[in-house]
Amino acid sequence: MTEIYQLTLYDLIEKIKSKEISCEEATKSYVDRAKKSQKLNCFIEETFDQALDKAKNQSDKIDTSKKLFGAPFAVKDLFCTKGIQTTASSKMLEGFKPEYESTVTSKLWDEGANLLGKLNCDEYAMGSSNETSYFGNVINPYRNDKDLVPGGSSGGSASAVAAHLTSATVGTDTGGSIRQPASFTGTVGLKPTYGRCSRWGIVAFASSLDQAGPMTKDVRDASLLMEVISGHDKKDSTSAQIEQEAFSQKLTKDIKGLKIGIPKEYKIDGMSKEIIDLWDKGIELVKSLGCEIKEISLPHTKYALPAYYIIAPAEASSNLARYDGVRYGFRAEGKDLIEMYENTRSLGFGDEVKRRILIGTYVLSSGYYDAYYLKAQKVRRLIKNDFDEAFKSVDTILTPTTPSAAFAIGENVDDPISMYLNDVLTVPVNLAGLPAISIPAGYDQNNLPLGLQLIGKSFDEQTVLNNAFAIEQSINFKPNFKDWWM
Ligand code: GLN
């Protein structure tokens, strides 16, 4: 029997609207499961009682015009939620209750979704394994003989979707934080074009790269959520003047004639045979669906990771200057103002955040600015130019999402360079501001999920979604973990 929590977001809402399932039953199904899944450590803040109350009220007032009516919905703890603790998984923000709601989350509630709680992530979204969180690591529902990371930074979100603790969620992606955890957990994650979704009310990491996006069980759910969370917002000056689109209604698996690029530079040294085989399988599949495959070149790919790890920390060091012990959350005492600042920042931030602030401050300092920051910005432009050139002859680009499957907890924590290498296939997209999706495409020899990434032209999420939908329908990926943590 299919449990309520196993339904896709789309099917769940249909059943609620046709009164086959009540809002209360839907919320209760998720709450019960989330309560039995504490071991995964997905939730930082639970609003279960509030969600159950709201669902009870919704049950006799079904509003079929609302796109997410009655959907139980937890969100990454990077989105400010009015009156509800928002921490970015940092001690620095413990106890911080925003006076405002982020634009993206307010769109969810306006469409009838129901907040279940806030989901664990890497501290200030800095990380690739969810191990930098002040609230402890998150566990992936997939495991071999060890507990595995869910990826990061939206690790709590990815595990929660995979383990059915929320009907779907929204995460943020600065360098891969939606797509990499989606790949590690067998779920779907879409990073929209920069400017497509408002950043207003999202705790800032690197403002020229951050984007909110859907994390879901399947592609149709991602298209539905995209439709809800996108659109111009005058409160975000980098938000594009493009209105919401009906992505889910235009979703089609007919992709005949689509031109798909395969970038040779993405076959990086040391990439496992399994990942290469998966990629080849994807290429054969789209060919069989009538697509034309073209080898393309993105020659500056190898500079993307170094450029990202200059630009992102530079912006972070500036964004995080606001946490001074005066305005938000945590404060440590000191004998004078300066010592209070120093103590607050020393004790409030974790090691990875401090590393980024140090790197960022260094690359922005006088004498080094031109050599590092300015140079990285120039490289960023070359990377964007590579994509512009490639998209003259193709509609989408197909690559693996990550160079490996999920790894064991603790395996990379002491080695920031190998941790940063996780992002090698995802960061170029952020630097160029493009949309990209990760969809589950198969399993490795240890039965761990692997993802394929599709990259699209600016504001062409529809083609990316259609391409992903067609692949998904053919692969018919099925989650295969047991509820071992209960
Ligand atoms: N893992 C990358 C980092 O640590 C990306 C994080 C993100 O996308 N928020 O910076």
Per-residue pLDDT of the chain (486 residues; tens, 9 = 90+): 689 999 999 999 999 999 999 999 999 999 999 999 999 999 999 999 999 999 999 988 999 999 999 999 999 999 999 999 999 999 999 999 999 999 999 999 999 999 999 999 999 999 999 999 999 999 999 998 899 999 999 999 999 999 999 999 999 999 999 999 999 999 999 999 999 999 999 999 999 999 999 999 999 999 999 999 999 999 999 999 998 899 999 999 999 999 999 999 999 887 889 999 999 999 999 999 999 999 999 999 999 999 999 999 999 999 999 999 998 889 999 999 999 999 999 999 999 999 999 999 999 999 999 999 999 999 999 999 999 999 999 999 999 999 999 999 999 888 888 888 889 999 999 999 999 999 999 999 999 999 999 999 999 999 999 999 999 999 999 999 999 999
Considering only CA atoms, which of 432, 302, 424, 422 is closest in space to residue 380?
Answer: 432
pLDDT of residue 16: 97
Q: What are the DSSP calls for 213-280, one per residue?
A: EEEESSHHHHHHHHHHHBS--TT-TTS-S-----TTTT--S--TT-EEEEEGGGS-TT--HHHHHHHH
Distance CA 438, CA 445 (A): 20
pLDDT score, position 415: 86
Q: Does the annotation mark 281 as catalytic?
A: no
Does residue 108 fall inside a structural domain? yes
Looking at residue 59, its pLDDT comes to 85
Residue 299 lies in a domain: no
Contact 91, 21 (CB under 8 A): no
| From 54, 76, 118, 191, the catalytic residue | 76
Q: Whose CA is nearest to atom 10 of ligand 1?
A: 126
pTM: 0.97
Active-site residue 146, yes or no?
no
Q: How many CB atoms lie within 10 A of CB 351?
A: 11
Range of the structural domain that residue 182 is part of = 4-260+392-475
State if residue 312 touches ligand 1 by the CB under 6 angstroms criterion: yes
Q: How would DSSP label each residue in 71-121? A: -EEEEETTB-BTTB---TT-GGGTT---SS--HHHHHHHHTT-EEEEEE--
Q: Does 307 fall in a domain?
A: no
- Helix axes 375-390 and 304-319, enclosed angle (nearest 10): 120
Residue 161 half-sphere exposure toward CB, CA atoms < 13 A: 30
Instruction: Tell me which H or E stretch contains 347.
Output: helix 337-348
Task: Return the DSSP state at 192.
Answer: P
Sign of CA dihedral 384, 390, 394, 397: negative
pLDDT at 272: 86
* Interhelix angle 461-475/219-229, nearest 10 degrees: 160
Query: How many DSSP H helices and E strands does the chain contain?
Result: 15, 11
Kindly state whether residue 414 falls inside one of the protein's structural domains.
Answer: yes
Phi and psi torsions of 124, nearest 5°: 50, 30
CA 129 to centroid of ligand 1, rounded, Å: 9
Q: What is the pLDDT of residue 284?
A: 98
Active site residue: 153, 154, 157, 223, which one? 153
57-76 residue pLDDT tens: 998 899 999 999 999 999 99
H or E element at residue 461: helix 461-475
Q: Is residue 444 part of a domain?
A: yes
| Catalytic residue flag (residue 418) | no
Q: What's 450's domain CATH number?
A: 3.90.1300.10
Beta carbon of 221 within 6 Å of any ligand 1 atom: no
**Tally of structural domains, the chain:** 1
Q: Name the strand (E) or helix (H) holding 452.
A: strand 449-456
Tell me whether residue 401 is in a domain: yes
Does 177 sit in the ligand 1 pocket, CB within 6 Å? yes
Compute how many other C-beta atoms are within 10 angstroms of the C-beta atom of residue 34: 25
Nearest to 76 by CA among 241, 212, 269: 212
CA of 177 to the centre of ligand 1 (A): 5
With respect to residue 341, please indicate whether it lies within any of the assigned structural domains: no
Within 13 A of 206's CA, how many CA atoms are on the CB side?
A: 27
The response to whether residue 175 sits with its C-beta less than 6 Å from ligand 1 reads: yes
Establish if 482 belongs to a structural domain: no
Q: Is the CB of 275 under 6 A from ligand 1?
A: no
Which residues pair with residue 79 across a beta bridge?
202
Beta strand 72-76 pairing with 114-119: parallel
Closest CA to 103 of 229, 216, 246: 229
Residue pLDDT, tens place only, 387-415:
999 999 999 999 999 999 999 999 988 88
